[in-house]
């Protein structure tokens, strides 16, 4: 079904693209289970960590969902976002201020809508992502995929496809940049801090607390910007300046 991918600087994206093509052409059917992680790693000739990141990218695009202890399954709605970021070359940390300024109003409103519009399955998916984050000690190596997937799950919980269309490319690109930026800032307490923030967002959504969901999502994004060395000018409309050290 699959062939080994050419070894480049961005293997996870290449693997995700190959699997995505099989989903879009119908070779992988909605509801079907993807091959096991080890099997995919052998087929593509890559490490299991590359496969995990590729699955996280597919999940953030709404193409698959993961079920704890079972595996990854193709979602019944298999429409890629029609809104694309044109990314050339290596992800650039200098894009962070603009990305955060765009994501703040989108995500805090998405959290607010998710609190009232979510379905039972949406909560299950959000809870699974929070659970995955609770087990992560090395955030840069293993936590970012679950982080991005959580935010996309919030977008899907709004039941408004345009939030997914807007946020999927933005957050996927952000997930590529964050590891580069954190290597410069040296934050060593990422896992515990960001887990608590995501849990607060989840609990507010589960309680159908619109104000709480918006408040905690706003707090999380502002704190994330701060951890990346960005000031509030990157979020609230003042001139955008990337941190010199990022």
pLDDT, tens digit (0-9, with 9 covering 90-100), for 91-141: 788 888 888 999 999 999 999 999 999 999 899 989 988 998 888 777 776
Higher pLDDT, 203 or 66: 203
Looking at the chain, the domain(s) classified CATH 1.20.120.530 span: 93-234
pLDDT for residue 185 = 54
The encoded tokens of residue 172 equal 């996927």
For residue 78, pLDDT over 60 is answered with no
40 versus 67: the higher-pLDDT residue is 40
The domain 93-234 having CATH identifier 1.20.120.530: the answer here is yes
Q: Which residue has the higher pLDDT, 121 or 188?
A: 121
Does pLDDT of 9 surpass 70?
A: no
CB crowding 176-215: b at 16 or more within 10 Å, else e: bbbeebbeebebeebbeebbebbbbbbbbbbeebbebbbb
Range 35-47 average pLDDT: 91
Q: What is the pTM of this model?
A: 0.69
- Specify the CATH architecture of the domain 11-74: Orthogonal Bundle (1.10)
CATH 1.10.10.10 in the chain: give the residue spans: 11-74
d(CA 78, CA 167): 16
């Amino acid at each position: 079904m699959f062939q080994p991918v050419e070894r480049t600087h961005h293997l996870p994206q290449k693997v995700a693209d190959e699997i995505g093509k099989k989903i879009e052409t119908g070779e992988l059917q909605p509801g079907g289970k993807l091959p096991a992680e080890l099997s995919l790693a052998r087929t593509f000739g890559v490490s299991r960590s590359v496969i995990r990141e590729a699955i996280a990218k597919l999940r953030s695009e709404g193409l698959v969902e993961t079920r704890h202890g079972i595996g990854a399954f193709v979602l019944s709605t298999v429409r890629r976002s029609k809104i694309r970021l044109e990314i050339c070359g290596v992800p650039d940390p200098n894009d962070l201020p603009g990305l955060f300024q765009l994501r703040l109003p989108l995500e805090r409103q998405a959290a607010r809508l998710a609190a009232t519009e979510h379905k039972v399955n949406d909560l299950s998916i959000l809870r699974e992502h929070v659970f995955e984050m609770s087990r992560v000690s090395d955030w840069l190596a293993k936590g970012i995929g679950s982080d991005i997937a959580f935010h996309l799950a919030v977008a899907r919980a709004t039941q408004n496809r345009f939030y997914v269309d807007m946020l999927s490319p933005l957050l996927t690109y952000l997930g590529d940049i964050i590891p580069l930026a954190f290597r410069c800032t040296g934050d060593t307490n990422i896992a515990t801090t960001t887990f608590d923030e995501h849990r607060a967002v989840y609990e507010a959504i589960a309680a159908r607390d619109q104000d709480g969901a918006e408040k905690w999502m706003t707090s999380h994004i502002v704190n994330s910007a701060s951890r990346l060395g960005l000031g509030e000018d990157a979020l609230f409309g003042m001139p955008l300046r990337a941190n010199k050290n990022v």
